[in-house]
A and B are shown apart, each in its own frame.
Chain A
Amino acid sequence: MNVPKHWREIPERYRMEAGKCTKCTKILFPARLVCPFCGNKEFDKINLSGKGKLLTYTIIRTAPEGFEDFTPYAIGIVELKEGVKVMGQITDCNTETLKTGDQLVAKFRRMNEEGKTGMIMYSYKFVPDLGI
Chain B
Amino acid sequence: MRNVAIIGIGIIKFGELWEKSLRDIAVEAALNCLEDAGTDRVDSVTIGCMSSGLFNGQEHLASLIPDYLGKNNIPATRVESACASGALAVRTAFLEVASGISDYSLAIGVEKMTDVSTGMATYALASASDQDYEAFHGITFPGLYAMMAKAHMERYGTTREQLAEVAVKNHQNGALNPFAQYPFTVSRETVLNSTKIADPLRLLDCSPITDGAAAVLLTTVEEAKKYKNFPMVIIRGIGSATDTLSLNQRKDILEMVAVKKAVQNAFKMAGKTIQEIDFAEVHDCFTIAEILVMEAMGVVEPGNAGPATLDGLTALDGKFPINPSGGLKSKGHPVGATGVAQIFEAVSQLRGESGKRQINNPKVALTQNMGGSGGSCVCHVLEVK
- Closest B residue to A67 using CB positions: B138
Tell whether A39 is near chain B: CB-to-CB under 8 Å: no
Tell whether A89 is near chain B: CB-to-CB under 8 Å: yes
- Please provide the chain B residues from 151 to 192 with a CB less than 8 Å away from any CB of chain A in the complex: 151, 154
Tell whether B247 is near chain A: CB-to-CB under 8 Å: yes
> Given the complex, which residues of A lie within 8 Å of B120, measured CB to CB?
65
Which stretch of B16-24, B85-93, B194-202, B226-234 is in the interface? B194-202
Check B253–A61 contact: CB distance below 8 A. Answer: no
Instruction: Map CB proximity to A onto B216-254 as digits: 1 under 8 Å, 0 otherwise.
Output: 000000000000000000000000000000111100010
Tell whether B256 is near chain A: CB-to-CB under 8 Å: no
Check B119–A85 contact: CB distance below 8 A. Answer: no
> Given the complex, which residues of A lie within 8 Å of B143, measured CB to CB?
58, 60, 75
Supposing A60-B138, A60-B140, A62-B197 touch, asked if A77 and B147 sit within 8 A by C-beta, the answer is yes
Tell whether A9 is near chain B: CB-to-CB under 8 Å: yes
Q: Which of A60, A70, A87, A111 contacts B247 (CB 8 A)?
A: A87
Check B197–A75 contact: CB distance below 8 A. Answer: no
- Bound-state Cα–Cα, A17 to B216, Å: 48
> Given the complex, which residues of B lie within 8 Å of A123, measured CB to CB?
136-137
Check A64–B199 contact: CB distance below 8 A. Answer: no
Tell whether B150 is near chain A: CB-to-CB under 8 Å: yes
> Given the complex, which residues of A lie within 8 Å of B132, measured CB to CB?
9, 30
Tell whether B310 is near chain A: CB-to-CB under 8 Å: no
A124: min CB distance to chain B, Å: 9
- Closest A residue to B135 using CB positions: A64
Q: Which of A60, A66, A85 contacts B248 (CB 8 A)?
A: A85
Check B199–A59 contact: CB distance below 8 A. Answer: yes
Task: Classify chain A: how many residues form its interface, as a range.
Answer: 20 to 34
Task: Classify chain B: how many residues form its interface, as a range.
Answer: 20 to 34
Tell whether B122 is near chain A: CB-to-CB under 8 Å: yes
Across the A-B interface, how many residue pairs have beta carbons closer than 8 Å? 91
Check B248–A111 contact: CB distance below 8 A. Answer: no
Supposing A56-B147, A64-B123, A100-B150 touch, asked if A75 and B249 sit within 8 A by C-beta, the answer is no
> Given the complex, which residues of B lie within 8 Å of A86, measured CB to CB?
248
| Majority secondary structure, A binding face | strand
> Given the complex, which residues of B lie within 8 Å of A89, measured CB to CB?
137-138
- Closest B residue to A59 using CB positions: B199
Check B140–A76 contact: CB distance below 8 A. Answer: no
Tell whether A63 is near chain B: CB-to-CB under 8 Å: yes
Residue of B139, B148, B195, B253 most packed against chain A (CB within 10 A): B139
Tell whether B294 is near chain A: CB-to-CB under 8 Å: no
> Given the complex, which residues of A lie within 8 Å of B200, measured CB to CB?
58
- Closest A residue to B138 using CB positions: A67
Supposing A55-B151, A75-B143, A76-B147 touch, asked if A65 and B138 sit within 8 A by C-beta, the answer is no
Tell whether B381 is near chain A: CB-to-CB under 8 Å: no
Supposing A73-B138, A75-B139 touch, asked if A62 and B246 sit within 8 A by C-beta, the answer is no
- Bound-state Cα–Cα, A66 to B246, Å: 21
Check A111–B136 contact: CB distance below 8 A. Answer: yes
Further 5 A-B residue pairs, CB within 8 A, beyond A60-B139, A77-B147 = A61-B199, A66-B138, A75-B137, A75-B143, A111-B138
> Lowest 9 CB-CB distances: which A-B pairs, in order?
A58-B146, A67-B138, A56-B151, A59-B199, A65-B119, A87-B248, A85-B248, A77-B248, A56-B147
A-B contact pairs, 28 of them (CB 8 A): A30-B133, A56-B150, A56-B253, A58-B143, A59-B199, A60-B140, A61-B195, A61-B196, A61-B198, A62-B140, A63-B140, A64-B122, A64-B123, A66-B138, A67-B138, A70-B138, A75-B137, A75-B143, A77-B147, A77-B248, A85-B248, A85-B249, A87-B133, A87-B139, A87-B246, A87-B247, A88-B137, A112-B138
